[in-house]
Structure 1
Amino acid sequence: MNRKAFSRINYGLFIVGAELDGKPQGCIVNSLHQVTSSMPFKFSLTVNKSNETFKAIEAKGSFAATVLAKDTPKDLVNLFGYKSGRVVNKFDGFDVERDGAGNPYVKDHALARFSCKVVEKLDLGTYMLYIAETTEAEVLGEGPALTVDDFKNDGGSTPPTATVVRTLEGNEGWRCTICGYVAEKETLPDGYQCPICRANKDKFVKL
């Protein structure tokens, strides 16, 4: 199987948030898709079970999602894509609001936001697939949306727990064993450090 074939598909990047025990949890996903165009509007979403956001959605039965603008800073994507909600509140310092169900969403660099109630789910092993009905929708900004191709072409790397990890194509690159960042390079130069967690070159493994 030629995994490079999967790189021909592009995806949007979104922040999905839900509340868990009074604490906001959120992560980057590239797996949010509108699947119906009639009422009630429905979305599909897959979330990695290792994320605290998964636990929050399971407990809450709902989530909020924002569509990120194309000019979203890489630091914001890296924060929600690589940092764990177990050790840091990712929402600190941002313009955060809550939807009618109490789920948090970041308004910074967002074009739109949706609130969704889970109505069905399917266990996919490492991931959980949700089907959710839209309960709220709001436009927050103007302009094009951020995609995986935009992010990668600007030097970013798809977060390791994202549903579709484009960095696996061709088995090229080096993965940080500390935070999961993937450096899409043939070789790592002497003195190289992970741009996310600052781990040294010896903490990387070849894909």
Structure 2
Amino acid sequence: MASHHGDDQVSIVQHVDKALETALLQGPLSGGNAQVVFDTPDSDWTARRSGPCVNAFLYGIEEDAARRQSGESSVIDEQGVVVGHGSPSRFFRLGYALTAWGQSPQDEHRMLGTLLEWCVRTENLMPHEDRTAGRGLSLKLRENAEGAETPVTRLWTGLGTPARPALDLIVTVPVDRPDSAVTTEPVRGLALTARPIGPRPVQGALPMPRGAARPRRNVEEIT
């Protein structure tokens, strides 16, 4: 996975933020004046907020353990030579609480409805940067058991703000592990040599009678 260094370094979470922001502005929020923000929607933020917006608050990160794989795969160059070994990607779920903020409840409900339809129709986000090796980010709304307390429900209690409707959006991102290089020269061929073992013929010994079984020769070395 490519990375940026110095002041322009972008983490995988920021990469997902950017992909989500771009998709929202080009999709359900296109043609409007609503912004996408990633602030903590506490009482201080609510008091100073101005203008319509969709808040995509990242409330949690967890690994999708069901998709974890073990083992290694070979990294092969253009000549077909194994030059390294790679490990399977690990997948992490980023939970976003999507809330709509407008001038009136009607405006907020309209934005929420548009967001809901978009979330149901959209299954993948394809980032513009090659940060996930061309793979899309899977997208879905969290499924909760009926009557169970959801992470978003607990969110408002933790922030100390009045509860408001929110969409619990889960974005799954693959995180690659670095490849390990081959430290020895790759094998390009095999050379086989063999020599017999057993007693050496004695000088002056009588020849074996005709029809007598000859001693078997064993292979001692193959290198």
TM bin, normalised by shorter chain, reads under 0.3
TM-score by length of 2: 0.21
TM-score by length of 1: 0.22
Structure exhibiting the larger radius of gyration computed from Cα positions: 2
